[in-house]
């Protein structure tokens, strides 16, 4: 029987893991759990990536507006230029302790819907399969 010790590399921001340090470093640079991330979709669409602070402020407005109106992430979608990865990153890294005590609202977010809407906006074109 053969045994082999293998190094596993883990993302510091999510549960992703892999066998190659280089791949994990590349993932960590754009992981939606990383507050200082580089957004690949914004680069692809030639959008200016907004800071997490700006996106968190927009998300906070959405959450407070949803108490009365069901805003459907209008503020954060507008602030991010519609980028689904930036919207998801804002939701994942948001500090919920900033919200009023007892507020039990979590924004509904569907990656497939947001991604489809982003591609249909004409900002970027999907690759031919």
Q: Check residue 128 and give left, alpha or beta (phi > 0: left; psi -120 to 50: alpha).
A: beta
Q: Give me the pLDDT at residue 64, please.
A: 80
Residue 87, both tokens: 């919207």
pTM score > 0.85 for this model?
A: no
Residue 106 confidence (pLDDT): 67
Both structure tokens of 46: 């030639």
Here the tokens at position 19 are 């066998």
Report the chain (129 residues): mean pLDDT per 10 consecutive residues.
93 94 95 95 90 92 71 84 93 84 72 88 65
Q: Count CB neighbours of 46 within 10 A.
A: 8
- Residue spans of the domains in the chain: they are 7-38, 49-120
Look at residue 62 in the predicted model and tell me its pLDDT. Answer: 84
Which H/E stretch holds residue 92? helix 84-93
Work out the number of other CB atoms within 10 angstroms of the CB of residue 19: 10
């Amino acid at each position: 029987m053969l045994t082999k010790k293998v190094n596993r590399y883990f993302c510091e921001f999510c549960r992703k893991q892999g066998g190659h340090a280089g791949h994990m470093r590349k993932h960590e640079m754009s992981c939606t759990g990383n507050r200082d991330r580089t957004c690949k979709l914004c680069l692809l669409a030639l959008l200016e990536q907004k800071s997490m602070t700006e996106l968190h402020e927009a998300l906070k407005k959405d959450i407070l507006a949803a108490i009365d109106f069901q805003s459907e992430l209008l503020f954060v979608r507008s602030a991010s230029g519609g980028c689904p990865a930036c919207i998801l990153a804002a939701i994942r890294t948001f500090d919920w302790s900033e919200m009023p005590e007892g507020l039990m609202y979590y924004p509904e977010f569907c990656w497939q819907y947001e991604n489809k809407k982003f591609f249909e906006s004409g900002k970027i074109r999907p690759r031919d399969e």
